[in-house]
């Protein structure tokens, strides 16, 4: 039976690499992003590299709950089993807490995109996975989930919270046969680092993260890789 993966934020960086890695393995792919044009470009590129790839896309901004509801309804209406869910949607705004807007808008923005997007999508798709007693959930955390740094501000807070959510899910879903993995990448060569003035070889490759996720998924049902920590060979940037 064909398997299906849901990847949020699948048009760029790590999300894009995951889409291609699982499609090459024969998975059907369901993904979303804010830009319809980016989704169309992704579908075209995937079709060229993986002829016959089965892919479903929907433009959605998962930091907005109505869009998250619309996306998960779209996924459920496809009638496909969700074998893998990768909560990859996220955003980074640098800065110190003391310099953030006094109205708390930056924290709310970081929580909405980095935490609530994963919460809303997981809560909506989880009942089907529990009913089937099959599935693997990957939470795209960060090394910022483990160690705060001076310019991390509200981003670090949101990523710490996402890591906590992954730990809660891991404990709750053991008895249902579902696996949960926290993915904790260090600096990865994506659009977020454009203009940083550092050589590409100083970063983790997005394809390496995707390969590691696929390897974690490929373990037998008797084992789960609870945490996947990946850093550049030369250390954090």
Catalytic residues: 155
Helix residue ranges per DSSP H, 116-152: 117-132
Angle of helix 36-49 relative to helix 13-24, nearest 10 degrees, comes to 30
Block residue for tokens 């999300």? 15
The closest of 63, 58, 60, 70 to 91, measured between CA atoms, is: 63
User: Are 33 and 11 a contacting pair, CB within 8 Å?
Assistant: yes
Count the neighbouring beta carbons within 10 Å of the beta carbon of residue 25: 13
User: Are 129 and 135 a contacting pair, CB within 8 Å?
Assistant: yes
Beta-carbon contacts of 186 under 8 Å, excluding residues fewer than 6 positions away, are 142, 143, 204, 230, 231, 232, 236, 237
Retrieve residue 115's tokens.
């935490």
DSSP strand E in 150-231: where?
179-185, 227-230
The closest of 194, 182, 193 to 143, measured between CA atoms, is: 182
Block residue for tokens 């980095």? 114
């Amino acid at each position: 039976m064909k398997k299906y993966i849901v990847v949020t934020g699948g048009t760029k960086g790590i999300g894009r690499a995951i889409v291609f890695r699982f499609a090459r393995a024969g998975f059907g792919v369901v993904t979303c992003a804010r830009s319809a044009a980016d989704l169309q470009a992704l579908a075209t590129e995937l079709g060229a590299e993986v002829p016959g790839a089965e892919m479903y896309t929907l433009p959605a901004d998962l930091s907005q709950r109505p869009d998250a509801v619309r996306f998960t309804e779209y996924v459920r209406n496809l009638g496909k089993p969700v074998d893998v869910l990768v909560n990859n949607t996220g955003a980074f705004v640098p800065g110190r807490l003391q310099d953030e807007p006094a109205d708390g808008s930056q924290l709310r923005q970081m929580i909405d995109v980095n935490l609530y997007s994963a919460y809303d999508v997981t809560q909506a798709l989880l009942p089907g996975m529990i009913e089937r007693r099959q599935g693997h959930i990957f939470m795209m955390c960060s090394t910022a989930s483990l160690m705060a740094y001076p310019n991390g501000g509200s981003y670090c807070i949101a990523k710490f919270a996402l890591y906590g959510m992954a730990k809660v899910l891991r404990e709750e879903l053991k008895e249902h046969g579902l696996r949960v993995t926290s993915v904790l990448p260090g600096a990865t060569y994506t659009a977020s680092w454009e203009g940083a003035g550092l050589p590409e070889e100083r970063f983790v490759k997005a394809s390496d993260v995707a390969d590691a996720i696929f390897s974690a998924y490929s373990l037998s049902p008797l084992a789960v890789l609870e945490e996947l920590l990946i850093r550049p060979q030369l250390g954090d940037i």
